[in-house]
Amino acid sequence: MRPGSSAGVSKRVAMTSLVSFNPATGSTVGEVSVTPALAVLDAIARARAAAPAWGALSLSERLALLEPPEERLLACAEELTALVTAEMGKPTKDAGGEVSWVAKSFVETCREIAASLEPEVVSQGSLRSTIHHVPHGVCAAITPWNFPVMMPHSLVLPALIAGNTVVFKPSEETPLVGQRYAELIGEGLPPGVLEVIHGDAETGRALVAGGVDLIAFTGSRTAGVQILSSASSDLKRVILELGGKDPLLVLDDADPLAAAKFAAKNGFRNAGQVCVSTERVYVAESIAERFEEALAQIAKEIVVGADDVEGATLGPMVNARQKAHVVEQVAAAVKDGARLLAGGEDREGNFLSATVLVDCTHEMGIMRDETFGPVLCVARVASDEEALRLANDTPYGLGAVVYGGDPERAERVAARVEAGMVGVNRSCGGAEGTPWVGAKQSGYGYHGGPAGHRQFAVPRVVTVRT
């Protein structure tokens, strides 16, 4: 038995240090010091002191300091990949994909962000207004663990390029990856421009309550609610990317096998620990049996295990708490009448099998609350209208997908799904330059695309008569 495997493992935050465990093996990966509340304020003060000079640089001067990390990231890609796999458990192939995407597009991303922050001129008669995108000041960047490189990257980089200084708190599950990312980005930046602090929600709360100007957060809806509430006392600006409960609508003219393949890919990737994982499936009755059989077959063939297990594509849950949450949701659904077509068995350590539940009803907790695990829940529907009604009856609205044989009909259905991003016969992410955005309680503000990048800055309109 692997160390720590029987009971599962979780990171532990002691008073002064944060011990990082490998969720697959239970072995210690490393340790960082927890930043005490007073030291959080010191980090904010250093970032505050650095803000005027950093904010006064031109976009091209900031780019000159922020483009060199691409080479460092590329040179350290293997090391960073290994650290991602060790700290949060995703297979090397997936961890490598995440690191390589960030590293290879680094300079391009910097330039794209900078381009959207160039001043814009608007003229009306003799009036000429220039919209300058000026920095907020100090930005708190707080991130989750599920994409421990990509998530910090999508907040820290636009904040810095927009001229803010940043106090970055990586997830307590992936502090070493966060630290390394910040070292690679921060080398060569003036002191105080990028500060890193460590700890769990308590440290995050101290940061949010401290004297920052902008809070850029990606994580759970629960934490988002707390952050918005705390930020309201002095109207700090917030950008919140939160959780989801993404539906997949499989229309009656869809190819059931293609839809099942997509559901499995999008539901079990990263062990289901993706904000836009497919969690609920509404399938037309006429093709439901073929869809469910195909899905169960694919799920049964998925090899579960640590990175060194031959053929394993489904890694561990990040910690024992997350596993227990998924196991409880599945057990409650089965008790309420859902049928297990695949998976569902309790495995050693933090592992779970790819699980397919059918005969799910709208009242079940597993159809309403975020699971964040490798579980696909299927409900049969009599019409597109019923699928839309059920898919939309949720406080969440991050991503969604519609599968159908007639793309135009599927697109019409997609336009009625209440989500920030809806894919037709593909995943929900949009074309280059579109924002990553959640509707309803899946987001408050957003990032990505020119409009998203500009949220890391404040518009200042200067008008002259010509």
Catalytic residue positions, numbered: 241, 275
Among 167, 182, 194, 398, binds ligand NAD (CB under 6 A): 398
Applying CB under 6 A, does 223 fall inside the site for ligand NAD?
Answer: yes
| Region from 23-31, 242-250, 255-263, 377-385 binding ligand NAD, contact rule CB under 6 A | 242-250
Distance CA 173, CA 20 (A): 7
Report 54-73 residues binding ligand NAD (CB under 6 A): none
The nearer residue to ligand NAD, 231 or 259, going by C-beta atoms, is 231
Under a CB-based contact definition with an 8 Å cutoff, are residues 197 and 43 in contact? yes
CB-based burial label for 335 (10 Å; 0-12, 13-18, 19+): exposed
Applying CB under 6 A, does 220 fall inside the site for ligand NAD?
Answer: yes
The nearer residue to ligand NAD, 218 or 313, going by C-beta atoms, is 218
**Positive or negative torsion for Cα 425, 219, 328, 3:** positive
Among 84, 275, 294, 419, binds ligand NAD (CB under 6 A): 275
| Nearest distance from C-beta of residue 403 to ligand NAD, angstroms | 22
| Nearest distance from C-beta of residue 251 to ligand NAD, angstroms | 26
Secondary structure string (H, E, C) spanning the chain: CCCCCCCCCCCEECCCEEEEECCCCCCEEEEEECCCHHHHHHHHHHHHHHHHHHHHCCHHHHHHHHCCHHHHHHHCHHHHHHHHHHHHCCCHHHHHHHHHHHHHCHHHHHHHHHHHCCCEEEEECCEEEEEEEEECCEEEEECCCCCCCHHHHHHHHHHHHCCCEEEEECCCCCHHHHHHHHHHHHCCCCCCCEEECCCCHHHHHHHHHCCCCEEEEECCHHHHHHHHHHHHHHCCEEEEECCCCEEEEECCCCCHHHHHHHHHHHHHHHHHCCCCCEEEEEEEHHHHHHHHHHHHHHHHHCCECCCCCCCCCECCCCCHHHHHHHHHHHHHHHHCCCEEEECCCECCCCCECCEEEECCCCCCHHHCCCCCCCEEEEEEECCHHHHHHHHHCCCCCCEEEEECCCHHHHHHHHCCCCCCEEEECCCCCCCCCCCECCCHHHEECCECHHHHHHCCEEEEEEEEEC
- Report CA-CA distances (Å) from 332 to 41, 328, 338, 357: 44, 6, 9, 12
| Nearest distance from C-beta of residue 125 to ligand NAD, angstroms | 43
The nearer residue to ligand NAD, 66 or 215, going by C-beta atoms, is 215
- Sketch the per residue contact string, 416 through 445, with ligand NAD: x for CB under 6 A, - otherwise: --------------------x-x-------
Applying CB under 6 A, does 312 fall inside the site for ligand NAD?
Answer: no
| Nearest distance from C-beta of residue 40 to ligand NAD, angstroms | 11
Applying CB under 6 A, does 246 fall inside the site for ligand NAD?
Answer: no
| Nearest distance from C-beta of residue 256 to ligand NAD, angstroms | 28
The nearer residue to ligand NAD, 244 or 404, going by C-beta atoms, is 244
| Region from 51-59, 157-165, 236-244, 410-418 binding ligand NAD, contact rule CB under 6 A | 236-244
Select from 256, 265, 334 the least CA-distant residue to 298. 265
Applying CB under 6 A, does 397 fall inside the site for ligand NAD?
Answer: no
Among 98, 241, 252, 359, binds ligand NAD (CB under 6 A): 241
Applying CB under 6 A, does 369 fall inside the site for ligand NAD?
Answer: no
The nearer residue to ligand NAD, 148 or 349, going by C-beta atoms, is 148
| Nearest distance from C-beta of residue 215 to ligand NAD, angstroms | 8
Applying CB under 6 A, does 201 fall inside the site for ligand NAD?
Answer: yes
| Region from 157-165, 240-248, 254-262, 457-465 binding ligand NAD, contact rule CB under 6 A | 240-248
Report 139-168 residues binding ligand NAD (CB under 6 A): 142-146, 151
Residue nearest ligand NAD, CB atom distance: 204
Among 218, 270, 278, 319, binds ligand NAD (CB under 6 A): 218
Among 137, 244, 349, 448, binds ligand NAD (CB under 6 A): 244
The nearer residue to ligand NAD, 288 or 375, going by C-beta atoms, is 375
* Residue numbers at the binding site for ligand NAD (CB under 6 A): 142-146, 151, 169, 171-172, 200-201, 204-205, 208, 218-220, 223, 226-227, 241-244, 275, 370, 372, 398, 436, 438
